[in-house]
Structure 1
């Protein structure tokens, strides 16, 4: 929990709303302790109606009120947001940035000295409170700050702490990874439709199969290769399917996807 802390969420988009919903559901914060801002007034009306939190379009006033500022805006507009908030985001506030590819040093350079900054990379399953958030601590962050950041992001899933130099790779894997998995689910369902299954049934089979396999990998702690081998009988259907995937270079394609997204995350940090 983050008891007594006033939290502003700058940017009430999908991730900002997911964090608000998660904090409230987990009891990490009360509605009166959360203030959401956005440039779209209609979006704020929706957030207020759903969660009963404070809302407004004035980032500076909301940030000044807060103890913790969550910067949930796109990296392309973060420079502008930071410039606007420079006078109020000082060393007295904890700053949590979820902007992909945007390093701590670049944030610190646009703020007053002494800023306490945590770089965060949550992924979209946070909307279902099944996300994975990677956190990297800035050098001014205190033990209490670490506890607060963990409490906020654990409200929407699991948390891992990494060195900041690894955050671009985290972005390429778990940040962008849900899109890769959605594509795999869609492709599996299309395969089922090709083989005669109704679309609705094929999608349910594909999604639940991916969910169940991921749950097994997490809960058993076994290497995925060993879990794969358990399903694979000599001369059976599974090895025939796996052979087709290996012929199609599935492994290499996924590795290339992680590499490409990691490189793009690095580029965003310099644009």
Structure 2
């Protein structure tokens, strides 16, 4: 298996997440001419062509000879794309590693749909990235089929590290639904929290521009502390909380409103919905 630098990469779909990964790969020095993107929309294709990668509207042209094929299309078109690719691999002796970021599409479906006419199946990895990947600060969960080798996993790690600061491999496919509820949907939880902080401060008289700057920087700073500190989140919370002080009063209000249960139900709801989508 070639290294990431030497691998031929095919992206089937050139939307936001694919564009983010491609940008990260280019920034890491991966040869642009080793990257081919199949994208039907002219605007997206032109943007990617401007980066210097190869572009096409033909999925098989992009993926026929690739070492790694990244499926980055909408779930409802994934089956047709995989069947098209599988048929194009009929004469290959070694099949590519398929990395799917199509939400909810199971490993067994991906393997079945991408089989070659003689019954062989590519090694498949499912990935759940999140939107901070767009700014190089992503978190991703990954699950591999049993035949994916440690070398292939390292190749996928190298691919994802272009946009993800944390990539966690789970040992059960259903745990990807939990990853979805945690980090996949998680950015929206923080955006909602900051949105409400700004609204609350504005209602108490602080100008919205000031409230926005203070709230967003507070979120960024707290996130950086979480990543860089050796303390657990609970200890960081305690470090901010003086007995009977202002933070204590706020946290008591959270507790009175059932904050823990609210978070539990939110993550459970997103996890359950992810599982439902995978069955449709």
TM-score range relative to shorter protein: over 0.9
Equivalences for 1:172-183 in 2 at 5 Å?
172-183=181-192
Aligned match for 1:213, one of 222, 230, 244: 222
TM-score between the two structures when normalised by the length of structure 2: 0.91
Q: Note if 1:47 corresponds to 2:48.
A: yes
Equivalences for 1:3-42 in 2 at 5 Å?
3-27=5-29, 29-42=30-43
After superposition, the CA RMSD in angstroms is: 1.6
Q: Helix, strand or coil for the counterpart of 1:120?
A: strand
Task: Count matched residues.
Answer: 269
Cα distance, 1:160–1:76 mapped onto 2, change above 3 Å: same
- What is the CA deviation profile of residues 219-246 of structure 1, one whole-angstrom value per residue up to 9, with x for unaligned ones? 2232212211111112211111112222
Residues 101, 128 of structure 2: 8 Å contact kept? yes
Structure-2 residue corresponding to 1:145 = 152
Q: Distance in 1 between matches of 2:231 and 2:161?
A: 24
1:177: Cα distance to partner? 0.6
Structure-2 residue corresponding to 1:263 = 272
Equivalences for 1:112-151 in 2 at 5 Å?
112=115, 113-151=120-158
Q: Helix, strand or coil for the counterpart of 1:258?
A: helix
Residues 9, 37 of structure 1: 8 Å contact kept? yes
Aligned match for 2:195, one of 177, 183, 186: 186
Runs of 4+ in 1 over 6 A off after TM superposition: none
Gaps of 5+ in 1: none
Residues 114, 140 of structure 1: 8 Å contact kept? no
Cα distance, 1:206–1:86 mapped onto 2, change above 3 Å: same
Gaps of 5+ in 2: none
Q: Distance in 2 between matches of 1:132 and 1:4?
A: 25
Q: Helix, strand or coil for the counterpart of 1:159?
A: strand
